[in-house]
Amino acid sequence: MALNDPQWGNRKNGGPPDLEEMLRNFNRKLSGFFGGKGGGGGAAPGGVGGGIGLIVAIVALVWVGSGFYIVDSSQRGVVLRFGKFTETTQPGPRWHFPYPVETVEIVNLSQVRTVEVGYRDNERNKRPQESLMLTADGNIIDIQFAVQYVLKDPTDYLFNNRMTDDKEVVRQAAETSIREVVGKNKIDYVLYEARGQVAADTTKLMQEILDRYKTGILISQVNLKNAQPPQEVQAAFDDALKAGQDKERQKNEGQAYANDVVPRATGEAARLMQEAEGYKKAVTADAEGEASRFKLILAEYNKAPQVTRERMYIDMMQQILSNTTKVMVDQKNGNSLLYLPLDKLIQGANPGSTQLPDLQSAMRQGTVDQQAQQPGADSHARENALGRDRSARP
């Protein structure tokens, strides 16, 4: 716009001028242009031949009318006078000097254009020669991405580069940029760590390159659609990823085991302690009870030792003999060998025991069912143990 000749209008003010101003402009341009050829040029054929004058007037009107054009809000008009750039026109209805004096080229600025690199239309439609590239560590990587761009400067866009297709220019910049960026980084970095960074670096480099040629193109976005190892080694890479997850899983499993085992052990320890505490209390209480019982009996025993002794002995024998199976054998009466079917006798004494040999053997020792039935059995067992202790003592 800055190239406006001072005598031509004043479009620098920005916003679209109204129709009135345009017409005024148009008049001024017209008179400015033909002004040099002496006044009244436009009205010359006035009084001469009415018919020819009318035709000339109509032709002139059509010619002038062909200079009207409309610039959409997404567009800019670039006006060339005899091939030389004169101004950029903003959106709105516009008029330029009709051909061959001025021509206008409409450039769509804000329309977002897209270039696909490594694929076309669909990500499955790959272009391996575009998508496969080398990384800094000598690996091959498969990248597909899309570049979105707009035009930022219509005159740069039109005048600086010969582009039959601006997509091709952007694609070349994209290819050289992505390969440079990827070539500087390791495969793991590109694949897993910094996709965003790769896209950002590519955007920056592309913009630098395009600005170097003053293409008037502005890269708005680089979308990495796909960054993956080539198909041939995909399985190995997937497996390595899975291995990473396996590692975590194994660790978690170990942790789960620890979380199970340690609290259980703590619980078990607490149980041991409680049991020991209980045992201590019980043993002491038993001892106290036993001791006081003994003391009381002893007091009575001391009053009549002989009788009490006799009575206690007989009581004991009665209790034993009434509870057990007994066979009385007078050894003095016969020297011959006496046959006693002990096992049969025992079985006869315990009718239910044949069914359960385990239980039977347990019963033979005389502890199991006794303990189950009598709460006091424990303490008796302990008495036995203590008895052993005591007998061991001097």
* Structural tokens at position 312: 């206690």
- Do residues 67 and 98 touch, judged by C-beta distance below 8 A? yes
- Give the shortest CB-350-to-other proteins separation in angstroms: 5
Separation of alpha carbons 117 and 226, rounded Å: 11
Which one of 249, 304, 307, 378 is in contact with other proteins (CB under 8 A)?
249
Distance CA 135, CA 198 (A): 12
Q: Binding to other proteins by residue 158, rule CB under 8 A?
A: yes
Cβ count within 10 A of residue 263: 10
68 versus 82: smaller Cβ distance to other proteins: 82
Residue 200 Cβ vs other proteins, minimum distance, rounded to whole Å: 18
Residues sharing a CB contact under 8 Å with residue 69, sequence separation 6 or more, in sequence order: 77, 93, 94, 95, 96, 104, 106
x/- track of binding to other proteins for residues 28-67 (CB under 8 A): --------------------xx--x---------------
82 forms part of the interface with other proteins (CB under 8 A): yes
- Of the pair 20, 232, the CB lying nearest other proteins is at 232
From the centroid of its chain, how far is CA 197? 18
Interface with other proteins (CB under 8 A), residue from 5, 33, 68, 168: 168
- Contact between 113 and 105 under an 8 Å Cβ cutoff? The reply is no
Among residues 57, 272, 304, 307, which is the contact residue for other proteins, using CB under 8 A?
Answer: 272
218 lies in the site for other proteins, by CB under 8 A? no
- Amino acid 79 reads V
Residues 6 or more apart in contact with residue 279 via CB below 8 angstroms: none
Task: Return the range that interacts with other proteins (CB under 8 A); candidates 9-17, 21-29, 143-151, 275-283.
Answer: 275-283
Binding residue for other proteins (CB under 8 A) from 108, 220, 228, 353?
A: 353
Least CB distance from residue 93 to other proteins, whole Å?
24
CA distances from 114 to 147, 167, 223, 305 (A): 6, 8, 10, 119
Q: CA-CA distance, 382 to 377, in Å (whole number)?
A: 9
List 302, 306, 336, 355, residue binding other proteins (CB under 8 A): 302
Note whether 243 binds other proteins by CB under 8 A.
Answer: yes
Residue of 16, 146, 301, 359 interacting with other proteins (CB under 8 A): 301
Buried b (16+ CB within 10 A) or exposed e, 106-132: bbebeeeeebbbbbeeeeeebeeebbe
Does 275 interact with other proteins (rule: CB under 8 A)? yes
**Which stretch, 34-42, 87-95, 193-201, 209-217, contacts other proteins (CB under 8 A)?**
209-217
Q: Which of 310, 187, 174, 164 is nearest to 241 (CA)?
A: 187
Answer yes or no: are the C-beta atoms of 215 and 169 closer than 8 Å: yes
To which residue do tokens 């070349």 refer? 172
Q: How far is CA 218 from its chain centroid?
A: 33
Reading the block at residue 303, the tokens are: 């009053």
Nearer to other proteins, 23 or 276 (CB): 276
Q: How many residues does the chain have?
A: 394
Using left for φ > 0, alpha for ψ between -120 and 50, and beta otherwise, residue 87 falls in: beta
- Candidate list 7, 124, 196, 232; residue touching other proteins; CB under 8 A: 232
Out of 183, 193, 197, 356, which residue is the one contacting other proteins (CB under 8 A)?
183
Burial letters 292-315, b for 16+ CB under 10 A, else e: eeeeeeeeeeeeeeeeeeeeeeee
167 near other proteins, judged by CB under 8 A: no
Among 4, 148, 172, 228, binds other proteins (CB under 8 A): 172
Q: Of the candidates 5, 55, 247, 304, which one interacts with other proteins according to CB under 8 A?
A: 247
Q: Is 106 in the site for other proteins (CB under 8 A)?
A: no
* Among the listed residues 8, 26, 85, 189, the single contact to other proteins using CB under 8 A: 85
Residue from 46, 83, 334, 394 in contact with other proteins (CB under 8 A): 83
Nearer to other proteins, 136 or 200 (CB): 136
| Number of residues lying near other proteins (CB under 8 A) | 129
Pick between residue 160 and residue 223 the one whose CB is nearest to other proteins. Answer: 160
Q: Which of 60, 114, 305, 356 binds other proteins (CB under 8 A)?
A: 305
